Structure 1
Amino acid sequence: MTSTVHLLKLSVGTENMADLANWQATKRAQTDDGLPRHITRMWPKRSEEILNDGSIFWVIKGVILCRQPILRLDEYIGGDDIRRCAIVCQPGLIRVAATPKRAFQGWRYLPVADAPEDLPEGRQDEEPLPPALSKALAAIGVR
C-alpha cells in the first residue's frame, strides 16, 4: 500500500491567507478547468505518495498557516518550452495550527507525522491573526 506525503511551500509575496486566496482566484493561477495550481520547475519524485491524500501546506511570513489537498499533477509547458509541474489543488484554504517554519527554496516533502493539524471546524471561519502574531504565539506554544 502506498503511504502519504505532503508538500511544504513558501507563499512568496503574500502577506496573509487572503492574499494567497486572491492570487488563486486569478485566471493566471488556475487550470483550464478553473482549479488553483502552483507551477514548479521540478516534478516530485514521490508523486504517487503525494497523490495518495497529500496536501500542499503553505508557509506565509515564516508560519505554516493553511493547506490545500492536492488533486493531481499536470504537465505544464511554458512559453519557453520548458516542462514544468503544475500542482493542482482543491479550491479553498484549510487553516491549520500556526507552526513556525524557516525560509527555504522550492518545496519540501512534509511527512504526515510532522504536518500541523487542521484547526477545528468551528475555528475555520475565524478571522486569521496576522502572520507575525501567529508566529510569536506558536513560538511559545500557543496555537
Structure 2
Amino acid sequence: MDHAATMRSTYELINAGDIARFGDLVADDYVEHQGGLGFPTTKEGMLDFFRALLTSFPDFRMNVEDLIADGDKTVARVRVSGTHQGEFMGVPPTGTGVDVELIDIMRFDGAGLVCEHWGVVDMLSLMQQLGVVPTGAPA
C-alpha cells in the first residue's frame, strides 16, 4: 500500500472541501492524539473539526512541503494558509490571511486507512497573525 499517496489524498480532499470523501480514508476506530480544540478525539470529532475549520477559513489550503513514509506511518511538513472569514476558537472573523506550518504523523491500519494522527501546529504564529497575541519581544 502507498501510504504516502493516501496521505497526500487526505490533504487534496480537505483542500477541495470534500470532507465526506476524506472520511472514507479514515478508519472508524480512528484516534486523534492532537486534541485540545474542543472536538472529540474520534473520527467524527476530527471530521467535525475540519468542517468547522473550512467555515472559519473557506479558502483553507494544505500544501505538502515534505513527506516521509516508513512502514505504517507517514510524516509530513505542511504549509497551511487561508483567510479568516468565520469565528475560530472564539476569535471573530478578521479577514486576515494566515500562513503557518504544521507537522502531521499518520498511522495506517492493515486496510490502508488512517487510524491514528498526531500533529503539531504553530498556534502561536497563527494567533499572532490573527492579532490575538502580540508579536515581537516580550516587554
Give TM-score scaled by structure 1 length: 0.27
Bigger fraction of residues in helix: 2
**Structure ranking higher on relative contact order (CA contacts 8 Å, 6+ apart):** 1
